[in-house]
Amino acid sequence: MAVAKKKPGRKKAVVASAPAVVKKAKKGVKKVVKKGRRGRPPAAVSINKEQEKIVMTEMDFGGKKEKIVVRKNFTIAKARRILKKETIAIIGYGVQGPAQALNLRDNGFTNVIIGQSKKYKKDWERAIDDGWVPGKTLFDVEEAAKRGTVIKLLVSDAAQRAIWPTVKKHLTKGKALYFSHGFSIVYKNQTSVIPPKDVDVVMVAPKGSGRSVRLNFLAGVGINSSYAIFQDATGTAAQRCLAIGIGIGSGYLFPTTFEKEVYSDLTGERGVLMGAVAGIMEAQYDVLRKNGHSPSEAFNETVEEFTQSLIRLVDENGMDWMYSNCSATAQRGALDWKPKFKKATMPVFKELYNSVKSGKETRRVLTVCGAANYKEMLDKELSTMGNSEMWRAGAAVRSLRPKEKAREITKTTKGVKGRRKN
């Protein structure tokens, strides 16, 4: 949609030096050459001088300058060069696994393999349907961990604890252990996930579900990711980490720590991103229904207008842009009631953050999600939600959306620019 955009923050290129690697191999190349544990050769890690420095962009985020990594300065060609001698093993083909594996493959990384337990038949068959070949690019978890030099642990947090002994024994010197969430490392006292000291431990955490990571990649827009280096054993952890981040299609990458990522992520999921928005929607829908409004009207005023209209305006140009392009009555009411909702929810968010930071939330995840009957319990909970009147009404509303061919929007199309000021 053609709309006027706010001016982005100023960008400035900054060069960050990556740590040196162990020993020179040949002119222009540095390489790890010592033998790995138990006499095995270490993973091959070679980085040209060209790649020893990572160019970061300085940008203003709301008045605070941050250094980020953008595709212009860390190209996909550079990422492929850095990882050309690596075997990237994706452990788990559930939520993030398929998206990250397929994006890497579509971006020209030919050295990607999948590690998936046959016990989970649907995930194994899904991997085959996506073109991964048993015995060639699709293996059980242990074989993939053995073959991989970059091991991407993308099973659920509870499952990471369960398979850790299997993965750990194949983390030989010079390999890289990759996460998309800081959970297992930060709460090591609960998970027992403690990596060997002679491997790189890195994280790239896409800010979206696996399906969104894939769809945004196919749409050419990508999803932003945070990244962190927990352990740099080879001196090349940053290059390997960022190469993977670019390879999976990140829009841009911003630095964090494993701890900050897991605190913000668990708070966001339980809060605004999922828990809070679902709870608030249910509360408003119930109030409207109890006051005589029809299911269709209650759903449209609670969910449909939010997802199909207003949140799209926020996405285009921010919250003030959305307010500017709504009626004066809507603007006034929203501005008056926003502080009340903030005051009402602030204590809940403080309680939530403290619950995350204390480890209470992770203990519940490991206990509940690790139970043998968890899948059946989850299916029951989601079925209760999906079969509620509110979401059955939603299914009816979605079925009535027109499915006409989209009209082309050009620079001369009238009525799509929106209004900057009232």
SS3 state at 176: strand
Please measure the distance between the N-terminal and C-terminal CA atoms of the chain and give it in whole angstroms. 21
Q: CA angle at residue 313 from 224 to 405, to 5 degrees?
A: 95
Specify whether the CB–CB gap between 322 and 334 falls below 8 A.
no
Which candidate in 181, 214, 270, 289 is catalytic?
A: 181
Specify whether the CB–CB gap between 219 and 248 falls below 8 A.
no
Residue 181 known to be catalytic: yes
SS3 state at 300: helix
Maximum separation of any 2 CA atoms in the chain, in Å: 78
What is the C-alpha to C-alpha distance for residues 153 and 214, in angstroms, rounded to an integer? 18
- Give the residue carrying structure tokens 């009147």: 389
Residues 6+ apart with CB under 8 A from 312: none
Structure-block tokens of residue 41: 């050769």
CA atoms 294, 299, 302, 305: torsion sign:
negative
Q: What is the DSSP pairing of strand 250-255 with strand 223-231? A: parallel
Instruction: List the catalytic residues.
Output: 181
